Amino acid sequence: MNTAPTFDVDAIRADFPILNRDVNGQSLAYLDSAATSQRPIQVTEAMREFTQQSNANISRSVHTLGAEATEAYEGARARIADFIGAPAAEEIVFVKNSTEGINLLAYAFQNASAERGADARFQLGPGDEIVITEMEHHSNLVPWQQLAERTGATLKWLEITDHGRIELENLDEVITDRCKIVSFVHVSNLLGTVNPTEAIVKRAREVGALVAMDGSQAAPHIPVNVTELGVDFYIFTGHKMLGPTGIGAIWGKTELLEAMPPFISGGSMVSTVTMERTTFAPPPAKFEGGTPPITEAVGWHVAIDYLDKIGMDNVRSHEKELAAYMLDSLDQVDGLTVIGPKVPIGRGATVSFDLDGVHPHDVGQVLDAHGVAVRVGHHCAKPTCIRFGVNATTRASAYIYTTKSEIDRLASALDKVRDVFA
C-alpha cells in the first residue's frame, strides 16, 4: 500500500470541482460525507472513459469490448479485495449497496432449511438467537427483525452506554450458546463511535456464532483488514468512499459463501439449466444474477486507488484531528449537546448534536442558507435517537477534503441559528 508522506488537503480539494461551487451565495462547506461522499474528478473521468470506449456486458462476450468490460469488472473486484485484506478476490460479492449486502446474508438464514440439506450454521428457528446492537443503522436492524419474525428466532441486542459506547459488561448474557449470528456496526453512522471488535468476536467464537460487520462508515475512514478483524462477513459501499452510488460489496469467507443459497435467481448465476432444475455457479457469480453495475465497479476501483495513494493511515490521522477540532468548536456553542462520545478517542469525525429548543430541520435550513451542508433527522438509526432521548439530531460529518475553516463556518452558523430562534 502506498502511503503519502504528507496530507495535503488543498491538493486533495483541487480534485473535487463540486467543492468550488456556491450555495445560496456562500461557498459550499460540505459536511455530509457520512451520507454520501463527493467524487474526485479521477473517478468521474474513469467512468466516462469506460462508457465511451469499452461499454459492453461482461463474461460471455468474445468480442473486444466484452473482454475489456470483463477485465475491468473483475479487476475492480480484485482491487477491492486487496483494499480490505481479503484472502481472495472471489470472496467479494458485488451488491448495489450495504443494505442489499446485509439482506443477502439474512436471506441465507431464512432459506437454509434442514429439509433441503442446508448447512447447519445457517439453519434458524425457534430457540435460536440473533444479536445486534442498539446503535445499528436500520439496514442492520430491520432485516434481522424480519428474519426473526419469519423464523421464530429471538432478536437480542447489546445496549449503549451514556458515553455512546457498546455496553460490554453483560456480553456473556446477551451472546449465549443459542446465538447463531452476531451482526454489528464497525463505526456508528450517528454517534461516530469506532467499536471495539475483539471482545465481541471472541465471545461469538466461544458460542459458535457467525459474525458479520457493517463497515459502511469504517472502510472509507480507517484501515480495514478483514482477516485481522476475525469476522466472517464484512459489508461496505462505494458511495461513502469517493465512489459512485449503486455499488457495494459483501465480503465472506469462501466456505461460507459456498454454503449459502443464492439471493437473486436468473441469468449469469447458473451452472446448468434444464426445464426441471438448475445448478448454480460458484461464488461470487452465484450471488450476482443479472447484469451487474459494471461502470460503477470501474469508478469504485479508481476511488480505492485514490484512497490508497493518500494512505488510509493518513486519512485516519486527518480525521482524528478534525474530530477533536469539531468537538472543541461545538463545545463553544451555547445550548448544544453532542450525542455520542464527547472525546476524540475511539470515534470518527462524524458528530451528531442537539441544539436546545431548535428542531434539527430548522438548524439544517439555517446552516444551508450559510452554505453549510449537514444532515438532519434520525439518520436511519431511530432506536439510537430514542436511547438518548431525542427525536432527531443534526449531524456534521467530515472527510479527506474537509478543512478546519469549514468547521469554523459550521460553529459560526450555529451561533446564527441561536440568534434566529432566540
- Catalytic residue, chosen from 90, 380, 390, 403, is 380
- DSSP structure string for 71-88: HHHHHHHHHHHHHTT-S-
Of the candidates 336, 322, 326, the one whose C-alpha atom is nearest the C-alpha of residue 410 is 326
Q: Is-catalytic flag, 380?
A: yes
174: three-class secondary structure by DSSP: helix
Which grid cell is 176? 449465549
Instruction: Concatenate the DSSP letters of all residues of 322-370 into one string.
Output: HHHHHHHHHHTSTTEEEES--SSSSB-SEEEEEETTS-HHHHHHHHHHT
Report how far apart, in Å, the C-alpha atoms of 158 and of each of 20, 173, 183 are.
43, 10, 11
The position carrying cell 441465507 is: 108
Decide: 325 and 349 in contact? Cβ < 8 Å.
no
> What span, in angstroms and rounded, lies between the C-alpha atoms of 86 and 80?
8
Is the link from the previous residue into 5 a cis peptide, with omega within 30 of 0? no
Give the active site residues. Answer: 380
